A and B are shown apart, each in its own frame.
Chain A
Amino acid sequence: MSKEIHREIHVDEALTRKMADLARLELSDVEVVTFTSQLEHILGYFEKLQEVKVEGVDPLISPIELETPFREDRMIPSLVDSEGKPKVLQSAPDTLDNGYKVPPIL
């Protein structure tokens, strides 16, 4: 591992912004510049993977081999608090009539 060949892939600011949009992240102009150059550097490292022979190799998604675990079709009542309000709503930042409140969805 003594020599790492970092071939630079061209990643530009437009790409960084596009990824930020897809991920619903807000980046400052400074962040866009910093991230773009860091991404370039790191992605160059990943180019290394292109040299591995992978034809016919089955991708490994999970490191555990199991028979498909199933659940029986049994209804479990939702937990409510002492006032009968669904427990899971306790962490809701903003609700109205037990619905989660969000900006208007057009």
Chain B
Amino acid sequence: MFNKIREIHDAFDRKTLSSEELTHSYLSAIRSSQHNAYLTVCEEEALAQARAADLRIAKEGKVPRTTAPLLGIPLGIKDIFTIDGIRTTCASKMLDQYVPPYTATCVSRLESAGAVILGKTNMDEFAMGGSNENSAYGPVKHPTHSERVPGGSSGGSGTAVGAHLCVAALGTDTGGSIRLPASYCGIIGIKPTYGRVSRYGLVAFASSLDQAGPMTHSVEDAAILLDVMSGHDPLDSTSSFQPVTRCFEATQQQPNWSRLRIGVPKEYMIGGLAPDVESSIQASLKWFESQGAKLVPISLPHTQYSVAVYYIIAVSEASSNLARFDGVRFGTRPSHFQNDLLSFYKKVRSGFGPEVKRRIILGTFSLSAGYAEAYYQRACQVRRLIRQDFEQAFRDVDFIAGAVSPTTAFKLGEKSSDPLQMYLNDIFTIPANLAGLPAMSVPCGKDREGLPIGLHLIAPWFAEENLVGVASAFEKARG
């Protein structure tokens, strides 16, 4: 089992392993797995890509790591990204047989770097959920504890990585959907700064919150993927003009610990954390201190409003983004031709699952005449205040640290009856999406049942290099 792309490339160079062999073994593992992590497996395409990679390695003698940093590496792609010619469902019956006519920019960048695409991973329907129990194709199981959820909405990617059904995977994070499954599954998950990675080809849930990011076994691998995917995309108007990241370099260096100040928001340390999570996070913070970093108490006063702000904005944007699913140009249609337009639309859109419907209704309400000012506009104003909290905090600290989730992976069905509690599960991760900050989950321990715990690190805007530098050092010492 490989935990690093580097190790695989070493094996390719030594000719003790080929990409085709590796791809075969992952495809076989996927076939025999009970996790339900994949919705579509691209067996033929993957093997073709693997063979092409092997040919290139043979021709060049070694893996050209600078020009093709992912050559021959099998990846899982969350089924929310479009790939030309490959079925993309977003885990919804609405798109059961949808085959996109174009490929998402971040996926094509991975492919240009030589990656092998094993298949499309399961997720919460249209990225709406925190446990991957909202998929129209069945829930995903935790990589090691099959009665538990892997977290969501990138649960398929989380389990695929955690259960070694791919080397690394691509996920998306709107309110924690990369970091939460990373935390539950014991892997690395990074949500980059908003605008860092192109959203072109990422089926939109909440346009001002969605970001694509890597889910991997090691910080180094996440850094490699980020370096490949980042950079301006002219097809995405919200794509930043910041230069491509140099995160891999950063993981090879030691942070200057004595100059680091790590913020601990008092609003996050209010209790409610499971005891093992609490002690693991505390131990991690103490480790930073032992390296010479300073722990600085900070305040993010508008934290308590984040969930409300997030849900209003996310569902409002979602209700609009999902209006295109009307059965006219793509998607599932009812088998009988409807005679009137209204019932046609309603029949088509009955293909949405209950969580999606609920959010659409909430979003429609929040934008509706008469309510828009009280909810949507006000939420956007409070969002600015939340962002200003971070601007203020980052004058005094270089990172903000805490838990990703108050608990470890819960049991399937355990939380899904109470939507409010599910929402509270996002409280630590949401603010980074609202402010557009880069954040990641890095494993920091396990609880008494052996369930992984994730340490949450938030960095200032476009400071991914610093983020992975610190995380990498932490991982090496504590991992």
In the complex the two chains form, is B341's CB within 8 Å of A64's CB? Answer: no
Interchain CA distance A64-B239 in the complex, whole Å: 9
Given known A-B contacts A59-B377, A63-B208, A52 and B330 have beta carbons under 8 A apart: no
Contact, CB under 8 Å: A19 / B379: no
Q: Are A49 and B101 in contact (CB under 8 A)?
A: no
Q: Given A26-B349, A60-B384 in contact, is the A48-B420 Cβ separation under 8 Å?
A: no
Q: Which one of B338, B341, B387, B423 has the greatest number of beta carbons of chain A within 10 Å? A: B341
Q: Cβ of A66 and Cβ of B195 under 8 Å apart?
A: yes
Let me know if A75 is at the binding interface, CB within 8 A: no
B32 contacts chain A at the CB level, 8 A cutoff: no
**Whole-angstrom distance between the Cβ of A24 and the nearest chain B Cβ:** 4
C-alpha gap A24/B378 in the complex (Å) = 26
Q: Check: B396 CB closer than 8 A to any chain A CB.
A: no
Q: Is the CB of A88 within 8 A of B374?
A: no
**Contact across chains for B241 and A66 when beta carbons are under 8 A apart:** yes
Q: How far is B344's CA from A106's CA once the two chains are assembled, in angstroms? A: 14
The answer to whether B361 and A16 have CB atoms under 8 Å apart is yes
B399 within 8 Å of A by Cβ? no
Tell me the nearest residue of chain A to B383, going by C-beta: A60
User: Which A residues are in CB contact (< 8 Å) with B381?
Assistant: 52, 54, 57-60
Residue contact B309 to A49, C-beta cutoff 8 Å: yes
Q: Is the CB of A64 within 8 A of B344?
A: no
Residues of A with C-beta under 8 A to B333: 93-94
Pick from B101, B270, B319, B380: contact of A23, CB under 8 Å? B319
Complex interface: stretch among B46-54, B120-128, B254-262, B300-308: B300-308
Is B382 within 8 A of A54, CB to CB? yes
Cβ of A31 < 8 Å from any Cβ of B?
A: yes
Contact A103 B344 (CB under 8 A): yes
**Contact assessment for B362 and A39 in the assembled complex, using a CB-CB cutoff below 8 Å:** yes
Q: Are A42 and B311 in contact (CB under 8 A)?
A: yes
Interface flag for A15 (CB, 8 Å): yes
**Distance, CA A63 to CA B195, complexed state (A):** 9
A14 within 8 A of B: no
Q: Which of B302, B339, B361 contacts A104 (CB 8 A)?
A: B339
Q: Are A24 and B272 in contact (CB under 8 A)?
A: no
For B309, the chain A residues whose CB sits under 8 A away are 49
Interchain CB contact (< 8 A) of B302 among A16, A31, A52, A63: A52
A63 touches B434 (CB 8 A): yes
Q: Within 8 Å CB of B341, what residues of A?
A: 102-106
Q: Are A49 and B329 in contact (CB under 8 A)?
A: no
In chain B, positions 357-395 with a C-beta closer than 8 Å to chain A are 357-358, 360-362, 364-365, 368, 374-375, 377-385, 387
Among B308, B349, B380, which residue has its beta carbon within 8 angstroms of that of A25?
B349
Q: How far is the CB of A105 from chain B (nearest CB, A)?
A: 6
Cβ of B466 within 8 Å of any chain A Cβ, yes or no, is: no
Query: Closest residue of chain A to B100, judged by CB?
Result: A91
Q: Is the CB of B384 within 8 A of A1?
A: no
Does residue B194 face the partner (Cβ distance < 8 Å to A)? yes
1/0 per residue B334-348: CB within 8 Å of A?
A: 000111111011110
A53, B319: Cα distance in complex, Å:
27
**Known: A31-B357, A103-B338. Contact between A42 and B238, CB under 8 A?**
no
A50 touches B365 (CB 8 A): no
- The interface bits of chain B over 199-214 (1 if a CB of A lies within 8 angstroms of the residue's CB, else 0) are 0000000001000000
Q: Are B435 and A63 in contact (CB under 8 A)?
A: yes
Determine if A33 is an interface residue (Cβ-Cβ < 8 Å).
no
Contact A50 B339 (CB under 8 A): no
Q: Are B378 and A25 in contact (CB under 8 A)?
A: no
Please give me the residue from chain A that is nearest to B385 by CB atom: A57
Residues on B close to A: CB < 8 A?
98-101, 194-195, 208, 234, 237-241, 267, 270-272, 302-305, 307-309, 311-312, 319, 323, 326-333, 337-342, 344-347, 349-350, 352, 354, 357-358, 360-362, 364-365, 368, 374-375, 377-385, 387, 419-420, 423, 427, 434-436
Taking A26-B346, A54-B378, A59-B377 as known contacts, 12 extra A-B pairs with beta carbons closer than 8 A to each other, sorted by chain A number, are A1-B272, A2-B271, A23-B361, A24-B342, A25-B360, A26-B347, A39-B365, A49-B375, A64-B194, A64-B240, A66-B195, A91-B101
